[in-house]
Amino acid sequence: MPTLRFVHSLSPHGFHRVAYRDWGAEDNPDVLFCVHGLTRNGLDFETLAQRLSHRWRVLSPDLPGRGESDWLLNAADYVYPTYLTTITAVLAHARVQRIAWLGTSLGGLLGMVMAAQPNTPVEKLIVNDVGTIIEPAALTRIAGYVGLDPEFGSFAELEAHIRAISAPFGPLTDPQWRSLAESTCRRTPEGRYRLKYDPGIALPFKQATPTATDLWPIWDAIRCPTLLIRGEESDLLSRETAQQMQSRGPKPARVDVPGVGHAPMLMSDDQIDPVADFLERRS
């Protein structure tokens, strides 16, 4: 079981408490830092962490507004500077100097920005199903559900909702779907079920322009060894963009996951193995 830790970080409208999970030996200098997607939370990496924590210390935060972390006072603060400040606070609290970064979707974008900075702590980068250009069709699909605040009369209804909006995750098992639903639900005082994130996270997402998703300058500044994972049926990271990414910037190794869209959830051996192999590869 991981240790659940908390740290305070600062946004433009005040402090907020951030939760992160810590698997493995606290004194292990080999640290894998895992960051989830837009509406998810750090428990998405539990299966991967259990597999790798004998070799790596695995840290996984709940970004502000998700999971066990506080909701921000102003929804306009759900932006990259707040997330990057939060991540810096977590790294300092965990006393970590250097990391391998694994990010899914939004977490991958944040990893790209972190890895591109001068004197970055990111020594290896794994980008899971996101890239320098985000396809408009995927943005439209995600905008169709992010920010809604549905309420469910039973856990089964909530799980059915998660299965529907997350169908691109691919052919997960019933226990895996149940785990993803359990980690994303909260009980109301009335005994009903709601999603475990602040609907306000949708505000900056829906205000973003196509120009804001053109990250080629960031990608070209990355120098560390990089692995790019793509769901073979992804509507967010196109095959053409992935191919271009392989020829520029860090020129990553690439793995395509068959039968999966956006995004591979890294909950099975066939998806975790490439991550483990890359992490052990000499630079």
Instruction: State pLDDT tens for residues 125-154.
Output: 999 999 999 998 898 899 889 988 999 999
- The answer to whether residue 49 sits within a structural domain is yes
Rounded Cα distance, 229 and 83, in Å: 22
Distance (Å) of CA 235 to CA 32, 130, 141, 160, 174: 27, 10, 9, 22, 24
pLDDT at residue 213 is higher than 60: yes
Task: Kindly report the average pLDDT of the chain as a whole number.
Answer: 95
Query: Would residue 200 count as lying in a domain?
Result: no
The answer to whether residues 73 and 1 touch, using CB atoms and an 8 Å cutoff, is no
In the chain, what percentage of residues exceed pLDDT 90?
A: 92
Residue 94 has a pLDDT of 98
pLDDT tens-digit readout, 185-202: 999 999 999 999 999 999
Any domain includes 197: no
3-class SS of residue 46: helix
CA distance 72 to 99: 27
pLDDT, position 189: 94
Does the pLDDT of residue 67 top 90, yes or no? yes
Please report the pLDDT score of residue 219 as a whole number.
98
Is the pLDDT score of 41 beyond 60? yes
Instruction: Assess if residue 150 is contained within a domain.
Output: no
What does the block give as tokens for 26? 């606290």
| pLDDT value of position 168 | 96
- The answer to whether residue 75 sits within a structural domain is yes
- Mean pLDDT throughout 20-26? 97
Q: Which of 60, 146, 134, 139 is nearest to 103 (CA)?
A: 60
Q: Give the Cα separation of 41 and 63 in Å (integer).
A: 7
pTM over the 0.75 mark: yes
Which pLDDT band holds residue 209 (cuts at 50, 70, 90)?
low
Both tokens assigned to 124: 């290896």
Residue 9 lies in a domain: yes
CATH of the domain at 100: 3.40.50.1820
35 in any annotated domain: yes
Domain count of the fold of the chain: 1
Give the pLDDT mean for 245-267: 98
Residue-number span of the structural domain to which 35 is assigned: 3-136+212-280
Q: Which residues contact 42 (CB under 8 A, 6 or more apart)?
A: 19, 20, 21, 34, 35, 36, 60, 61, 62, 67
**Domain for residue 148, yes or no?**
no
